[in-house]
A and B are shown apart, each in its own frame.
Chain A
Amino acid sequence: GAVVSQHPSRVICKSGTSVKIECRSLDFQATTMFWYRQFPKKSLMLMATSNEGSKATYEQGVEKDKFLINHASLTLSTLTVTSAHPEDSSFYICSARAIPSGRFPPSTDTQYFGPGTRLTVL
Protein backbone atom coordinates (compact mmCIF):
# COMPACT_ATOMS: atom_id res chain seq x y z
CA GLY A 1 0.00 0.00 0.00
CA ALA A 2 0.90 3.68 -0.10
CA VAL A 3 2.56 5.35 2.89
CA VAL A 4 1.62 8.64 4.50
CA SER A 5 3.62 10.07 7.36
CA GLN A 6 2.71 12.71 9.89
CA HIS A 7 5.00 14.75 12.06
CA PRO A 8 5.00 15.15 14.96
CA SER A 9 3.16 12.13 16.27
CA ARG A 10 2.55 13.81 19.59
CA VAL A 11 2.85 17.40 20.73
CA ILE A 12 2.14 19.19 23.97
CA CYS A 13 2.04 22.95 23.90
CA LYS A 14 1.02 25.90 26.01
CA SER A 15 -2.19 27.77 25.41
CA GLY A 16 -1.69 30.62 22.95
CA THR A 17 1.11 29.04 20.98
CA SER A 18 0.92 27.76 17.41
CA VAL A 19 1.58 24.21 16.31
CA LYS A 20 2.43 22.98 12.83
CA ILE A 21 1.63 19.45 11.74
CA GLU A 22 3.12 18.00 8.57
CA CYS A 23 1.54 15.38 6.34
CA ARG A 24 3.67 13.71 3.69
CA SER A 25 2.91 11.12 1.06
CA LEU A 26 6.15 9.16 0.99
CA ASP A 27 5.90 6.99 -2.10
CA PHE A 28 3.22 8.63 -4.22
CA GLN A 29 1.99 12.04 -5.28
CA ALA A 30 -1.25 13.52 -4.08
CA THR A 31 -2.96 16.60 -5.44
CA THR A 32 -5.54 16.30 -2.69
CA MET A 33 -5.00 15.79 1.00
CA PHE A 34 -7.58 15.85 3.74
CA TRP A 35 -7.38 16.92 7.35
CA TYR A 36 -9.57 15.23 9.92
CA ARG A 37 -10.09 15.62 13.60
CA GLN A 38 -11.05 12.69 15.78
CA PHE A 39 -12.30 12.83 19.35
CA PRO A 40 -11.94 9.79 21.63
CA LYS A 41 -14.12 6.92 20.48
CA LYS A 42 -15.68 9.12 17.82
CA SER A 43 -15.68 9.19 14.08
CA LEU A 44 -13.49 11.22 11.79
CA MET A 45 -14.62 14.78 11.26
CA LEU A 46 -13.43 16.32 8.02
CA MET A 47 -11.95 19.73 8.68
CA ALA A 48 -10.70 20.74 5.28
CA THR A 49 -9.65 19.57 1.86
CA SER A 50 -6.19 20.65 0.81
CA ASN A 51 -5.41 21.03 -2.89
CA GLU A 52 -1.87 21.46 -4.14
CA GLY A 53 -1.27 24.97 -5.38
CA SER A 54 -4.61 26.39 -4.34
CA LYS A 55 -6.51 27.42 -1.24
CA ALA A 56 -7.92 24.79 1.03
CA THR A 57 -11.64 24.19 1.23
CA TYR A 58 -12.89 24.30 4.79
CA GLU A 59 -15.91 22.51 6.16
CA GLN A 60 -18.70 24.46 7.76
CA GLY A 61 -17.84 25.51 11.27
CA VAL A 62 -14.07 25.20 10.84
CA GLU A 63 -12.24 28.51 11.23
CA LYS A 64 -9.79 28.94 8.39
CA ASP A 65 -7.81 31.58 10.29
CA LYS A 66 -7.47 29.20 13.20
CA PHE A 67 -6.47 26.15 11.19
CA LEU A 68 -4.09 27.27 8.47
CA ILE A 69 -3.49 24.79 5.69
CA ASN A 70 -0.71 24.94 3.14
CA HIS A 71 -0.29 22.37 0.37
CA ALA A 72 2.97 23.48 -1.15
CA SER A 73 3.87 20.38 -3.11
CA LEU A 74 2.43 17.12 -4.38
CA THR A 75 3.77 15.32 -1.34
CA LEU A 76 3.37 17.75 1.53
CA SER A 77 0.50 19.48 3.29
CA THR A 78 0.74 21.30 6.60
CA LEU A 79 -1.85 22.20 9.19
CA THR A 80 -1.04 24.99 11.61
CA VAL A 81 -3.19 25.35 14.67
CA THR A 82 -2.82 29.01 15.58
CA SER A 83 -3.22 30.38 19.10
CA ALA A 84 -4.06 26.93 20.38
CA HIS A 85 -6.43 26.51 23.31
CA PRO A 86 -7.24 23.45 25.43
CA GLU A 87 -10.40 22.81 23.39
CA ASP A 88 -8.16 22.29 20.34
CA SER A 89 -6.68 19.23 22.00
CA SER A 90 -7.51 16.31 19.77
CA PHE A 91 -6.20 13.66 17.41
CA TYR A 92 -5.52 15.18 14.00
CA ILE A 93 -5.27 12.81 11.05
CA CYS A 94 -4.41 13.57 7.47
CA SER A 95 -5.10 11.46 4.43
CA ALA A 96 -3.97 11.66 0.84
CA ARG A 97 -5.64 10.67 -2.38
CA ALA A 98 -3.20 9.50 -5.03
CA ILE A 99 -2.93 10.94 -8.49
CA PRO A 100 -4.28 8.34 -10.94
CA SER A 101 -1.49 6.33 -12.50
CA GLY A 102 -0.64 2.77 -13.40
CA ARG A 103 -0.25 2.03 -9.72
CA PHE A 104 -3.44 3.90 -8.80
CA PRO A 105 -6.13 3.34 -11.46
CA PRO A 106 -8.66 6.18 -11.85
CA SER A 107 -11.35 3.92 -10.40
CA THR A 108 -9.37 3.67 -7.18
CA ASP A 109 -10.73 6.22 -4.79
CA THR A 110 -8.68 5.21 -1.79
CA GLN A 111 -7.55 7.65 0.81
CA TYR A 112 -4.36 6.70 2.62
CA PHE A 113 -4.23 7.87 6.18
CA GLY A 114 -1.30 9.12 8.17
CA PRO A 115 -0.67 7.80 11.67
CA GLY A 116 -2.16 10.90 13.29
CA THR A 117 -0.91 13.62 15.60
CA ARG A 118 -2.03 13.80 19.20
CA LEU A 119 -2.21 17.46 20.22
CA THR A 120 -2.52 18.39 23.86
CA VAL A 121 -2.87 22.06 24.74
CA LEU A 122 -2.22 22.93 28.37
Chain B
Amino acid sequence: GQQVMQIPQYQHVQEGEDFTTYCNSSTTLSNIQWYKQRPGGHPVFLIQLVKSGEVKKQKRLTFQFGEAKKNSSLHITATQTTDVGTYFCAGRGADSWGKLQFGAGTQVVVTP
Protein backbone atom coordinates (compact mmCIF):
# COMPACT_ATOMS: atom_id res chain seq x y z
CA GLY B 1 0.00 0.00 0.00
CA GLN B 2 0.88 3.63 -0.22
CA GLN B 3 3.46 4.81 2.28
CA VAL B 4 4.62 8.32 3.01
CA MET B 5 7.97 8.77 4.67
CA GLN B 6 9.21 11.99 6.16
CA ILE B 7 12.71 12.97 7.23
CA PRO B 8 14.13 14.08 9.50
CA GLN B 9 11.85 13.11 12.38
CA TYR B 10 13.47 15.72 14.57
CA GLN B 11 15.09 19.03 13.66
CA HIS B 12 16.86 21.28 16.12
CA VAL B 13 17.44 24.70 14.58
CA GLN B 14 19.16 27.83 15.77
CA GLU B 15 16.99 30.91 15.35
CA GLY B 16 17.83 32.56 12.05
CA GLU B 17 19.02 29.37 10.36
CA ASP B 18 17.38 27.63 7.44
CA PHE B 19 16.23 24.02 7.32
CA THR B 20 14.44 21.60 5.03
CA THR B 21 12.16 18.67 5.69
CA TYR B 22 11.57 16.02 3.05
CA CYS B 23 8.62 13.82 2.20
CA ASN B 24 8.72 10.73 -0.03
CA SER B 25 5.87 8.57 -1.23
CA SER B 26 6.09 4.99 -2.39
CA THR B 27 3.47 5.74 -5.05
CA THR B 28 2.59 8.61 -7.35
CA LEU B 29 0.42 11.22 -5.72
CA SER B 30 -2.43 13.31 -7.04
CA ASN B 31 -1.58 15.99 -4.53
CA ILE B 32 0.46 16.58 -1.44
CA GLN B 33 -0.51 18.69 1.53
CA TRP B 34 1.44 20.14 4.39
CA TYR B 35 0.13 20.70 7.88
CA LYS B 36 1.61 22.26 11.00
CA GLN B 37 0.77 21.12 14.50
CA ARG B 38 1.84 23.31 17.38
CA PRO B 39 2.60 21.60 20.71
CA GLY B 40 -0.72 20.72 22.32
CA GLY B 41 -2.64 21.78 19.24
CA HIS B 42 -4.22 20.19 16.21
CA PRO B 43 -2.97 20.04 12.61
CA VAL B 44 -3.54 23.19 10.63
CA PHE B 45 -3.52 23.16 6.84
CA LEU B 46 -0.65 25.08 5.29
CA ILE B 47 -0.73 24.35 1.57
CA GLN B 48 -1.61 21.92 -1.18
CA LEU B 49 0.55 21.15 -4.21
CA VAL B 50 -0.98 19.53 -7.25
CA LYS B 51 1.20 20.03 -10.31
CA SER B 52 4.42 18.25 -11.13
CA GLY B 53 7.39 20.45 -10.20
CA GLU B 54 5.15 22.99 -8.49
CA VAL B 55 6.76 25.47 -6.13
CA LYS B 56 4.76 27.64 -3.75
CA LYS B 57 5.92 30.19 -1.23
CA GLN B 58 4.36 31.47 1.94
CA LYS B 59 6.58 34.18 3.37
CA ARG B 60 9.62 32.27 4.69
CA LEU B 61 8.22 28.86 3.75
CA THR B 62 8.89 27.31 0.33
CA PHE B 63 7.06 24.16 -0.70
CA GLN B 64 8.07 22.04 -3.64
CA PHE B 65 6.43 19.07 -5.39
CA GLY B 66 8.75 16.75 -7.28
CA GLU B 67 8.60 16.21 -11.01
CA ALA B 68 7.52 12.62 -10.55
CA LYS B 69 4.88 13.67 -7.98
CA LYS B 70 6.33 11.26 -5.45
CA ASN B 71 8.25 13.61 -3.23
CA SER B 72 7.99 17.04 -1.69
CA SER B 73 9.97 19.37 0.48
CA LEU B 74 9.38 22.23 2.85
CA HIS B 75 12.17 24.75 3.26
CA ILE B 76 12.03 27.39 5.99
CA THR B 77 14.42 30.32 5.88
CA ALA B 78 15.49 32.46 8.82
CA THR B 79 13.74 30.26 11.35
CA GLN B 80 11.85 32.00 14.13
CA THR B 81 10.61 30.71 17.47
CA THR B 82 7.09 30.83 16.07
CA ASP B 83 8.09 28.05 13.66
CA VAL B 84 8.17 25.57 16.52
CA GLY B 85 5.90 22.58 15.99
CA THR B 86 5.56 19.41 14.01
CA TYR B 87 5.23 19.64 10.26
CA PHE B 88 3.36 16.83 8.55
CA CYS B 89 3.18 16.10 4.89
CA ALA B 90 0.16 14.17 3.66
CA GLY B 91 -0.12 12.61 0.25
CA ARG B 92 -3.25 11.57 -1.57
CA GLY B 93 -2.92 8.64 -3.95
CA ALA B 94 -3.29 9.15 -7.66
CA ASP B 95 -6.62 7.34 -7.48
CA SER B 96 -9.06 10.21 -6.87
CA TRP B 97 -10.48 8.33 -3.91
CA GLY B 98 -7.06 7.53 -2.54
CA LYS B 99 -6.56 8.06 1.14
CA LEU B 100 -4.66 10.97 2.54
CA GLN B 101 -1.61 9.28 4.03
CA PHE B 102 0.26 11.27 6.65
CA GLY B 103 3.99 11.16 7.11
CA ALA B 104 5.45 10.71 10.58
CA GLY B 105 6.12 14.41 10.86
CA THR B 106 9.20 16.52 11.52
CA GLN B 107 9.32 17.96 15.00
CA VAL B 108 11.03 21.32 14.91
CA VAL B 109 12.64 22.87 17.96
CA VAL B 110 14.05 26.37 17.67
CA THR B 111 16.76 27.66 19.95
CA PRO B 112 16.85 31.45 20.44
Using a CB–CB cutoff of 8 Å, the interface residues on chain A facing chain B are 1, 34, 41-44, 46, 49, 93, 95, 107-116
Contact = CB atoms under 8 A, between A and B. Distances in A.
B41 A108 contact: no
A118 to B, nearest CB: 10
Interface residues of B, number: 21
B99 A110 contact: no
Given A44-B88, A110-B33, A115 B48 contact: no
Nearest to A59: B99
Interface of B: 31, 33, 35, 41-45, 48, 50, 86, 88, 92, 99-105, 107
Contacts of A116: 42
A42 B100 contact: no
B104 A43 contact: yes
Given A42-B104, A43-B105, A44-B102, A107 B50 contact: yes
25 contacts: A1-B45, A41-B86, A41-B107, A43-B105, A44-B102, A46-B99, A46-B100, A46-B101, A93-B43, A107-B50, A109-B31, A109-B33, A109-B92, A110-B33, A110-B45, A110-B48, A111-B33, A111-B100, A112-B45, A113-B35, A113-B42, A113-B43, A113-B44, A114-B42, A116-B42
A43 B87 CA distance: 10
